[in-house]
Structure 1
């Protein structure tokens, strides 16, 4: 019996030899195309659910426009009597956002006495954020900034304003005044963090944890996560697990290792629905620049159009 080795071409017709060599020559090109496809996917994921949670990003709008819009949001919240509220911004082009996700960054705003650069005391909203670390996107840090800073890198002059009940507002104020909100911070960052466990965290999950700490008057993360699982309904990310897994190969801040089954994460809108379901929301609105009348005469505040979120 003749033995034909696996690497022998003895049984391959001559016309197939040419095709084999052609395939071998084209293989690097195929690999390059596959790599480009995956990198393109990773880029889309970077523009996904919560990308845009960075501090000090480049401004798209003129500083005057940002300042007037930020002041308009402050005035709106103050007019509603908000001592503490949830604020959202759009840090990516809206066309790049997954279905059902309207804001990319969420934080807690608290009416406070603020010392200005010239040493004068003023009153306004201080915003308590979780931001990605620029030099290591798998990590995050806590930072307090103010409305102009918050909207500086916004891609759309649009704000989410979610005002909880008076009791929840007071709970948030006490939490921040005590400094205990810092104990809720997990520096391990993921764009699509699972809000039901403590493996990773993003800005919106941190905001949700602060809210639940205020609601249950506890910073015990075990209890907070138990109640989150029992009562909170996160947003399903409408992207396949395969795509997300491929994206995680190239994007350090994208991981699905903390998820089982559907990929679900906290969003501004899912938090609003959560508070509404249990009677803990006073108002949930989306504010945008009024396209017909941009500036109020006299005080330099942008005129805002509002619509109900829920």
Structure 2
């Protein structure tokens, strides 16, 4: 994606979401607040240096050695460069993260919450981030969709950790992110059409978890629900979304960041 002129950016800034800081975050953390804040700022700097106004962001919420084969991240959302109103009334530019979160007190239900990079990485088990930056045209489509409330329109609050992205019986964060992307690209929130397009063009990630484990998980945990899969379990993941965008030439840049990743300055956003 080429360097954006400042005038072009002003159009984005005028259209960007206006949000208020102060959403809830988990009190549990495995790194010091300073380490988390520094990593969150690195992710922001890296993305801003590549003129990412809207991008897909992912984090690791479980130990990597417990994740199924082929699954590298546990939570996926959309980051939007926004004018943010702080609790003291001041405003600043930064990334707001548009999430689908599972409710703590009702694990079979999800809600849509906007938080911020430090909140997003607060309880991670590994300081690692997945970043997938769509092309400028797709970013514009996503920004328009988010401003028009599309995220809410394609949200199904019936939560399953292993939701099938090819139907709308259950939903998790990654499927919801994919729904928003496809709604923006195809300019529709008709769920039947979105799922038909997903079936036709998106390749889900096969989940390498034994049927025995899946069965007992569905019995004892409300957030593990296998009944929306008619055959082998397949899920949307950060990697499968990144590959989907890349396959259809809708991806400008992708990366996996750690605290050791250098951030090269490429001009102001």
Q: The TM-score by the shorter chain falls in which range?
A: 0.7 to 0.9
In the TM superposition, what whole-angstrom CA distance separates every residue of 1:229-279 from its partner, at most 9, and x where no partner exists?
Answer: 000000000012232112211111111100011100000000011111111
User: 1:55 Cα shift?
Assistant: 5.1
Aligned partner of 1:165 in structure 2 is 135
2:47 maps to 1:72: no
The answer on whether the counterparts of 2:78 and 2:177 sit within 8 Å (CA) in structure 1 is yes
Q: Cα distance, 1:56 vs. partner?
A: 2.0
Give the counterpart of 1:177 among 147, 162, 175. Answer: 147
The 8 Å contact of residues 108 and 128 in structure 1, kept in 2 or not, is answered as yes
Would the alpha carbon gap of residues 159 and 124 (structure 1) be closer, same or farther in structure 2, given more than 3 Å must change?
Answer: same
Q: Find the residue that maps to 2:108 and give its secondary structure.
A: strand
Runs of 4+ aligned structure 1 residues displaced above 6 Å come to: none
Match of 2:256 in 1: 286
User: Which of 1 and 2 has greater Rg?
Assistant: 1
Q: Tell me the TM-score normalized by structure 1.
A: 0.76
- Residues 21-78 of structure 1, C-alpha deviation per residue, up to 9 Å, x if partnerless? xxxxxxxxxxxxxxxxxxxxxxxxxxxxxxxxx9525111100111110001000000
Unaligned residue ranges in structure 1 (runs of 5+): 1-53, 292-302, 306-310
Are the equivalent residues in 1 in contact too, given 2:142–2:181 (CA < 8 A)?
yes
Residues 154-303 of structure 1: pairs in structure 2 closer than 5 A: 154-290=124-260
Which residue of 51, 54, 66 maps to 1:81? 51
Do the aligned partners of 2:45 and 2:263 also contact (CA within 8 Å) in 1?
no
For structure 2, the residue ranges without an aligned partner over 5 or more in a row are 1-23, 265-269
Partners of 1:254 and 1:139 in 2: CA distance: 12
Q: Normalized against structure 2, the TM-score is what?
A: 0.87
- Pairwise CA RMSD of aligned residues? 1.5
Task: Provide the rounded CA distance (Å) in 2 between the counterparts of 1:92 and 1:242.
Answer: 21
1:191 deviates by 0.5
Distance (whole Å) between structure 2 residues aligned to residue 153 and residue 237 of structure 1: 24
- Paired residues of 1:241 and 1:263 also in contact (CA < 8 A): no
Give the equivalent residue in structure 2 for 1:103: 73
Secondary structure in 2 matching 1:209: helix
Rounded Cα–Cα distance in structure 2 between residues aligned with 1:304 and 1:150? 20
State the structure with bigger RCO (CA 8 A, min sep 6), 1 or 2: 2
Residues of 2 paired with 1:57 and 1:83: CA distance?
29
Give the CA deviation at 1:171: 1.0
